[in-house]
Structure 1
Amino acid sequence: MDYTQERVATLHDYGDAHPDAPVDRATVVVPMTEREYAGLAAEGVLSTLEDVDPGRVLVALRAPAERVPAFCEWLEGFDLSLDVLWCTGPRLSALLDDAGLAGESGKGRDVWLALGLAARSEYVALHDADAASYSERDVPKLLAPLSNDFEFVKGYYARVESGRLYGRLFRLFYEPLVDALADAHDHDVLDYLGAFRYALAGECAMTADVARSLRVQRRWGLEVGTLGEAYRLAGFSGSAQVDLGFYEHDHRAVSGPTGLGDMSEGVGDALLRAVEAAGVDPAYDTLAERYVEAARRFERGYAADAAFNDFTHEPAAEHEQVETYREAVSPPGPDTRLPAWVDAPLAPADVREAAAADLDAVR
């Protein structure tokens, strides 16, 4: 435990922080896919939100048509002001196509669709549904700084579980890559990106103005892309991070189509796009080697931390992961981000109408 400040305001939980927060003026966005249906973690999150009683809960659902009726029936069993936004229905898909916004679908697109609707509230909180350690204090912690003139708030937590260090993509890829960039470039954007203690956390909150102004990654890299946008929109003075304690999340394999290797490509793309947009030239001809050099230093530090706590640790596996992540250190590809809602060629009301018609049709 510590009480140090970063370049962004850092709010610590010294034991039982439960601040007053504008939960009744907020919409909580929870993206879900069909795998969350009746799952223990999602059940726990929604049951806990019943005690929090936010103004609204908006579930951004990505699921095939045949699964939607049962999913909605399950969600209706919770005592919440809850709306379902079915993100992959045919009318909504056609609407996006007509607006020139067709393209890859994923968590980022689901969140973008939800932000347009959620920004009717004064504040928006966003978090995943896979946390097994979810607390009723989490949403108030995320929202509290917004009533004190902050515009964007990020949660952070320790990815420590069952005597192991997790959070591998953050500590073996994101953290050393930012370090390698900061070692070569003196720029505020790198200070900003390096100030967040768990930059890949899905838990954040923002004002409605920020929610309407975010450009959003379609798939992987959502969290990092959001940080890049928060730097542009809120900056150091408008940003804060809050201590959410320990979090137990799902764990992914490194390989495979939804593994950490694939995710690193999206994270690297979003990170380097944000850095370039701020005016940094990453010197790509040497960046991969500089990343690996920094990552080896982080490897040693985390290995020592694990040994200090008598944790299970696999240095060879972590070494191998760094080699996998090296492939993601390359210039960002085409910018396929979804536009800020303030600039979008369609209105949130159009999304609401199309999604409601899609739900009616399958129910």
Structure 2
Amino acid sequence: MEYVQERVTTLHDLGGADPTAPTGRAAVVVPLTEREHAGLAAERVFSELEAVDPARVVVPLRASADRVTAVREWLAGFDLRLDTLWCDGPRLADLLGSAGLNGARGKGRDVWLALGRALADDDAEFVAVHDADTASYSRSYVRRLLFPLTREFAFSKGYYARVETDRLYGRLFRLLYAPLVRALADAHAEPFLRYLESFRYALAGEFAATREVVESLRVPRTWGLEVGTLADAYDAVGADACAQVDLGNYEHDHRAVSGPTGLSEMSESVADTLARAVEAHGVAPDYDTLADRYREAGDALVRSYAADAAFNDLSYDRADERRQVETYADAVGPPGDDDRLPAWTDAPVSPDEVVAAAGADADEAAGR
């Protein structure tokens, strides 16, 4: 237990923190896949949300057409004001295509669609986002995320230690984000890098913000969502209006390093979004040397993680962690084309159009 403050205000759980927060004035976005549907973790998440009683829950659903009805019926069993937004139907694809919003489909795109629906609810002064695969989910998470927004903060980010089955997890954060930001910060003095360094789990899927901040987000389409959100929050309100919140114990699914939607594929989106963000904030990385400097920072952190694991009698495979650093180094380089989705204040489609298209798609999938 500690109470160290970072560049952004850090709110610690010093013993069962569960503050009062305006859950009735908040929409909660919970991205869901058909694989997670009806699992024990998702069941716990939505059951706990019943006790939170938010103004609305929006579930952007990634699923095949033959699974949509089952997921919608399952979600309808929870006592929540809940909208399911099927993100993979043909009408929605046509709507986005006609508006010039074709592009990669991924978690960021799904969350962006749901944020539009959340903002369309006049009762939602705040929006919270979190994942559905959290086996340790607690109703206090939403209250913790929202609490800073009732003070002088406009954006809050969740953090936690990923320690499960006697091992350190959170590998993409520990072995890609943290050493890459460190390598950049060692070479550049821009305040934005100090801001990025201060987040204890920058790739956590949990955040909350005022509707004004959410309206300004230009969301990356895939796994760069979390980094892009941090950058946009910095632009919208600055580091002094951002906070990070201790969510305590946290357990959720782990991904393989290789394969579709594995950590290696995710690393490409994270590194690309990070490179674009730092360039936009005055950093001019030397990409000819950055990958090697990243490796050096990664190796130094592996040494630190090994000591920390040994201190806590945890299993730690130093050689495997170094192999992951080498794998992620392939993603380090200049950013590609900017295909972020527009802020909802500038979007060429309306939330109502999105909801109508997604609903018609879901009804057709159900044979109505």
Aligned position for 2:164: 161
TM-score normalised by L of structure 2: 0.97
Aligned position for 2:67: 67
Amino acid at match of 2:246: D
Deviations 1:121-159 (A, max 9, x none): 110000000111101110000011111131110000000
Unaligned residue ranges in structure 2 (runs of 5+): none
Aligned position for 2:217: 214
Amino acid at match of 2:108: G
- What does 1:84-163 correspond to in 2, within 5 Å? 84-119=84-119, 120=121, 121-163=124-166
SS at the partner of 2:240?
coil
Alignment counterpart, residue 297 of structure 2, candidates 291, 294, 298: 294
- What does 1:17-28 correspond to in 2, within 5 Å? 17-28=17-28
Deviations 1:256-284 (A, max 9, x none): 12111111111100111110000100110
Count of paired positions = 363
- How big is the shift at 1:210? 1.1
CA distance in 2, matches of 1:168, 1:360: 40
- How big is the shift at 1:353? 1.8
CA distance in 2, matches of 1:311, 1:292: 24
- How big is the shift at 1:178? 0.4
- How big is the shift at 1:229? 1.1
Amino acid at match of 2:196: L
CA distance in 2, matches of 1:359, 1:296: 48
SS at the partner of 1:59?
strand
CA distance in 2, matches of 1:112, 1:104: 13
Amino acid at match of 1:235: G
CA distance in 1, matches of 2:357, 2:259: 34
SS at the partner of 1:131?
coil
Aligned position for 2:282: 279
- How big is the shift at 1:235? 1.3
Amino acid at match of 2:356: E
- How big is the shift at 1:361? 2.3
Aligned position for 2:319: 316
- How big is the shift at 1:6? 0.7
Deviations 1:9-30 (A, max 9, x none): 1111101111110100001000
1:231 equivalenced with 2:256 (yes/no): no
CA distance in 2, matches of 1:224, 1:329: 15
- What does 1:183-222 correspond to in 2, within 5 Å? 183-222=186-225
SS at the partner of 1:101?
coil
1:334 equivalenced with 2:337 (yes/no): yes
Aligned identity (percent) is 66
- How big is the shift at 1:47? 0.7
Aligned position for 1:42: 42
CA distance in 2, matches of 1:144, 1:167: 25
CA distance in 2, matches of 1:122, 1:348: 16
Deviations 1:314-350 (A, max 9, x none): 0110011111011011101000111111111111121
Amino acid at match of 1:204: F
CA distance in 2, matches of 1:193, 1:264: 17
SS at the partner of 1:36?
coil
TM-score normalised by L of structure 1: 0.98
Unaligned residue ranges in structure 1 (runs of 5+): none
